[in-house]
Amino acid sequence: MDSASLYKPLIRGVAVAAVCVSLLSPSVVSAQNRSAPTSRAEVQLSFAPVAARAGPAVVNVYAQRVVRSMSRDPFFGRFSGPRMEQSLGSGVIVGADGIIVTNNHVIEGAQSLKVVLADRREFDAELVLADPRVDLAVLRINTGGERLPTLQYANTADAQVGDLVLAIGNPFGLQQTVTSGIISALARTEVGISDYAFFIQTDAAINRGNSGGALVDMNGALVGINSAIASESGGSNGVGFAIPSEMVRRVVESAVSGGSTVIRPWLGARLQTVTSDLARSLNLPRPEGVLVSQLYPRSSGERAGLRLNDIILSVGGVDVRDDAAVRYQFATQRPGSQVPLVVLRGGRQISLTAVAEAPPGGAPDPVLLAGRHPLSGARVVTLTPATAEASRVDPFADGVFIQALDRRGIAARIGFRVGDIIDEVNGQPVRDAAQLDRLMAQARTWVIGVERNGQRAELRF
């Protein structure tokens, strides 16, 4: 079985403990004075105060969707009819004025949303912002001016493997349940659940139904939003994954500021993980950091002073070991903020400062190609770092990429796919969507340069 298939979203139940914060004055809880238990009395201390503090901020999220099901009638044959489907997940109140965060997969495709508080009061909810790329969504309920219970965000930079955590929620539709465990790993980037993976792993029992709930530390602060489990059976095997609180806060801040999308800063560097073989070739004593193999012109990284073959050791004070970690750490910074980088260059460490900026290039309008040619029915967009990042395409590539395909169009029928990059037509480099439209319309035979999944080919029609 492909390892990616082991990761299961956690729908069908109310999730874990909610930890909340006032959006007007967000604060962060730092772990201090860490020490191991020194007496039997300390070992027998109860988690009850933490659970009692976090419990009131846990909510149920009901998402209703209209689906069409196919069935066979003995008289009328096959027919389809609408059917109401309801899923149950959880949410965390992150704003006393009724702002709630949950997983995107809990509410995706819903026609109506309802939130049930811990005291059993029910509210209709509206979707403020959905962010599928990190599997988060922000909802709002009208509290009529009432202030809801909130807790603080944790500073996950202080989190350590072995820290105690609680999961509070409603797995399998049961009423509020508390499970305890530890943080069993940090900075999981190889999970493959979302585009900005940097998950906190826990062995606290997480099961189906915990989606959108919170992982809570011993200060009662939000460590992360539980999102998935690694399981062949669908049950808890002691490996659950939570989206760290700093990413949650960035998404919530974007939502409450009126944004329709989350602006994620971009360093502008192509990076390569330093493996054992690469470390030996670079005369490094051990594998560490990520190697800068390409810089986008005038990007934040280049202006900060990064050079080719630099090895980035940390971003924002957090050690990084692969491209995903660098992307995550940069993406969680507020636009315009100063981001410290520690870089290894020529055998010595140097400090640089990059500005957190959105990828350049804006969002050019898409062009729908039509006519009697091989790309008819394709909607294409000029490649810029901004459009590439938004569409999961290589931001260093040149040309245009296919954003969508009409399934009945020529392009779809002959095998073009969404995400294909068109960089050349009849020997002429393609620089933007309007130029591609002209080149396709003017020719009667075509040699099209196409890049797909890092492989390039020339197709003749």
**245-256 vs 323-331: helix crossing angle, rounded to 10:** 40
Rounded Cα–Cα distance for residues 259 and 422 (Å): 31
Token pair 């509410």 in the structure block, residue: 107
Beta-strand relationship, 153-154 and 28-29 = parallel
Catalytic residue among 87, 90, 97, 105: 105
Please say whether the beta carbons of 55 and 176 come within 8 A.
yes
DSSP string, 97-114: TTEEEE-HHHHTT-SEEE
Is there a catalytic annotation at residue 135?
yes
- The C-alpha atoms of residue 212 and residue 131 are separated, in whole angstroms, by 13
d(CA 310, CA 292): 5
CA distances from 98 to 63, 290, 322 (A): 17, 41, 37
Catalytic residue among 97, 135, 163, 420: 135
Q: Is 105 among the catalytic positions? A: yes
Catalytic residue among 184, 211, 245, 314: 211
**What is the β-pairing status of strands 222-230 and 7-9?**
antiparallel
* Token duo for residue 62: 């009901």
Kindly report the number of other CB atoms within 10 A of residue 12's CB atom.
Answer: 17
CA distance 156 to 120: 31
- Specify whether the CB–CB gap between 154 and 222 falls below 8 A: yes
Closest CA to 213 of 108, 63, 100: 100
The strand pairing partners of 404, in sequence order, are 379
Residue type, 152: Q
Which segments within 43-111 are labelled E, that is strand?
A: 58-73, 77-95, 99-102
In terms of Cβ atoms closer than 10 Å to its own Cβ (0-12, 13-18, 19+), residue 33 is exposed
How many beta carbons lie within 10 A of that of residue 400, not counting itself?
Answer: 29
- 25 in active site: no
| The pair of three-digit structure tokens given for residue 370, joined into one six-digit string | 């039509």
CB 20 within 8 A of CB 181: no
Rounded Cα gap, residues 185 and 142, in angstroms: 38
List residues with catalytic annotation.
Answer: 105, 135, 211
